[in-house]
Structure 1
């Protein structure tokens, strides 16, 4: 397996020289400064690619992500220019030798957490999704119509009690935490702006979102196949409806539908163990085994779930996902690819998210993306991989 590292470009507080010291060889990055829907020019791709290559040790291997414009997700208006721009961006990336694109089809928000600094045992901080805090936000701050129906009476009552005790800075913190899951889009919404954006989705249900996703796949996957590219969809995070918005990449059945909708190797999956692992209904190693041949990229992290639907980022070898079983599944797939003679048999992965530890605390890195916490995760995953590789040789 190929070790990679998420880098947010020149504005990232973690520098490329620091990343070289982690031992990773691949970089996962994007051109975050380019607005959604616009073409990624060859010169901009090449400039960032050279920054990475000039380290002498790193190579930009995966794009995360080439964002999909919200109008495509809503199926709104004439989309021909947006699709043409997406295809041209893919062609420009291929011209620079970058052939793997991770993307998501989550409406409006990417990953969602309610707390960015939940304490962890022994010190440090983790990302957390608290069901009561989400109810506070949806019901009492956003005042979304119908939000109460998405929660049990016990959660609603507890949320009301907590909301009544909140000060304005507590509310501001909760909004900022929920908005933090947009690392590739530097816009952040106020409450009123979020209401306006949600209103644009009022007629979008699960079936219509699936239809719009199907259109996207049919518009771009043939081009990806011609270019020799691999697109790999990232699962919803968390894998459930959020803010009344449907989520359609949350389960085994969802992934099966996507792979079947355009049955082509260019239409693949980013196996994210944390996103899928946040649902008690998902057996992540089993999902990985079933769709192994379509996994083009992997995010490896862990979560610990609570009975009420809350969850918290765990250390990479803790939590509810059997990481050893999952990595073994991915390595078995690599072995199958190698036996079939595939030169690209290795799966690129990155240690996803990490606890803020030691000098990470207060450094101001992207939430979930500290240096030491991820390096700890990478080291732990590296140990699993080496042990399993030794086992395969026996």
Structure 2
């Protein structure tokens, strides 16, 4: 496996490439062109500039997270053909620049969602947390107005300001999209891009829905063993694979993550490995990566990845805010660096015990 860290680019991230390079065992970054919007074509020049910046600090771009999928593709509008064509052009340019992994998601309207970006823990650190009771009290179509009226309004990850102004429009667009239609639109998208992926050796790695259930009555379909297997069977090409995210899947305690990892052997191209603590049904908070700090057995998760001969990138995911660090919620340096050290330690122990 290759240990990596998510990096948001020199323009947006408080963490520098030089700092990432100093984390023992961290060989690359997972990044993207953050100034682009869904549906835009990434030029070879911009990709090359990004790549050269990373390599100048002794790291590699181990994958892209994400090339976002335009809503018209998810909804299945006639205009999806234009955006699929643009997506293919972006994949071609990535392939020509030697980048062969793309993580993406197919969640409608919102990306990963939390209700508290700085929940204080007993040790004084803060973490991301989710409470379904709070979500149930939010009227998402009035989100923007509520935020304007009350500065303490909910500000959730994946709810970009330019999309907040279109919330009503987006909900109207998705009103006839149920789980089956969303699934078929995903299959259509993947079948359209697979020839290009096969030509350039690009592995598409879909990210799990987070949390692993539908919110605001919007369909979510990549959240269980059964649903994931159905997608892999529908597009049975090795380039059509997964980003296993232990935190996303782990939000639902019914998901047996080590079993899922072993079941999807050969189709897991990327992994986010982090811990969560179940508080009550529909309620969880994120923790340190350490097994004893949360509800997931991180040893068993890493062992399952070892057992399937995981050779792709792995990264720690959302970290706590510790030691007074000020950074993007979940994406500070300190706790994620501790996560790298912990996961590398588990991997070394597993590797040596199997010799």
Tell me what 2:130 maps to. Answer: 129
Structure with the largest fraction of helix: 1
Instruction: Confirm or deny: 8 A CA contact 1:214 1:261 kept in the other structure.
Output: yes
Q: Could you tell me the TM-score, scaled by structure 2's length?
A: 0.94
Tell me what 1:161 maps to. Answer: none
Tell me what 1:181 maps to. Answer: 158
How far apart, in 1, do the equivalents of 2:79 and 2:41 lie?
A: 17
Q: Quickly say closer, same or farther: Cα 1:203–1:380, change in 2 above 3 A.
A: same
Instruction: Confirm or deny: 8 A CA contact 1:113 1:181 kept in the other structure.
Output: no
Q: Quickly say closer, same or farther: Cα 1:269–1:168, change in 2 above 3 A.
A: closer
Instruction: Confirm or deny: 8 A CA contact 2:5 2:316 kept in the other structure.
Output: yes
Task: Give how far 1:31 is off.
Answer: 0.5
How far apart, in 1, do the equivalents of 2:204 and 2:179 lie?
A: 22
Correspondent of 2:219 among 243, 246, 253: 246
Instruction: Confirm or deny: 8 A CA contact 2:147 2:153 kept in the other structure.
Output: no
Task: Give how far 1:112 is off.
Answer: 0.2
Q: Structure 2, unaligned stretches of length 5 or more?
A: none
Tell me what 2:77 maps to. Answer: 76
Alignment partner of 1:320 is 2:295: yes
Helix, strand or coil: the match of 1:111?
Answer: coil
Q: Structure 1, unaligned stretches of length 5 or more?
A: 144-166, 335-344
Q: Quickly say closer, same or farther: Cα 1:209–1:168, change in 2 above 3 A.
A: closer
Alignment partner of 1:29 is 2:6: no
How far apart, in 2, do the equivalents of 1:21 and 1:375 lie?
A: 9
Helix, strand or coil: the match of 2:344?
Answer: helix
Tell me what 1:158 maps to. Answer: none
Task: Give how far 1:234 is off.
Answer: 0.3
Task: Give how far 1:239 is off.
Answer: 0.7
Q: Quickly say closer, same or farther: Cα 1:88–1:377, change in 2 above 3 A.
A: same
Instruction: Confirm or deny: 8 A CA contact 2:14 2:332 kept in the other structure.
Output: no
Correspondent of 2:324 among 359, 376, 382: 359
Tell me what 1:43 maps to. Answer: 45
Tell me what 1:392 maps to. Answer: 354
Helix, strand or coil: the match of 1:60?
Answer: strand
Alignment partner of 1:65 is 2:38: no
Tell me what 1:381 maps to. Answer: 343
Tell me what 1:148 maps to. Answer: none
Question: What's the CA shift string for 1:137-165, capped at 9, x where partnerless?
Answer: 1489659xxxxxxxxxxxxxxxxxxxxxx
Helix, strand or coil: the match of 1:173?
Answer: coil
Correspondent of 2:261 among 274, 288, 295: 288
Task: Give how far 1:79 is off.
Answer: 2.1
Matches within 5 A, 1:301-340: 301-317=274-290, 318-334=293-309
Task: Give how far 1:80 is off.
Answer: 1.9
How far apart, in 2, do the equivalents of 1:169 and 1:208 lie?
A: 34
Instruction: Confirm or deny: 8 A CA contact 1:49 1:60 kept in the other structure.
Output: yes
Tell me what 1:107 maps to. Answer: 108
Task: Give how far 1:22 is off.
Answer: 1.6
Instruction: Confirm or deny: 8 A CA contact 2:141 2:168 kept in the other structure.
Output: no
Larger Rg over CA atoms: 1
How far apart, in 2, do the equivalents of 1:200 and 1:13 lie?
A: 36
Question: What's the CA shift string for 1:2-21, capped at 9, x where partnerless?
Answer: 11010011221111111112
CA RMSD, 1 decimal: 2.0
Which aligned segments of 4 or more residues in structure 1 are displaced greater than 3 angstroms?
138-143, 167-174, 185-188
How far apart, in 2, do the equivalents of 1:55 and 1:32 lie?
A: 19
Instruction: Confirm or deny: 8 A CA contact 2:278 2:284 kept in the other structure.
Output: yes
Helix, strand or coil: the match of 2:112?
Answer: coil
How far apart, in 2, do the equivalents of 1:237 and 1:170 lie?
A: 28
In the alignment of these two chains, the number of paired residues is: 350
Q: Quickly say closer, same or farther: Cα 1:295–1:168, change in 2 above 3 A.
A: closer
Instruction: Confirm or deny: 8 A CA contact 2:140 2:167 kept in the other structure.
Output: no
Q: Could you tell me the TM-score, scaled by structure 1's length?
A: 0.85
Task: Give how far 1:173 is off.
Answer: 3.5
How far apart, in 2, do the equivalents of 1:285 and 1:296 lie?
A: 15
Task: Give how far 1:199 is off.
Answer: 1.6
Tell me what 1:337 maps to. Answer: none
Task: Give how far 1:77 is off.
Answer: 2.1
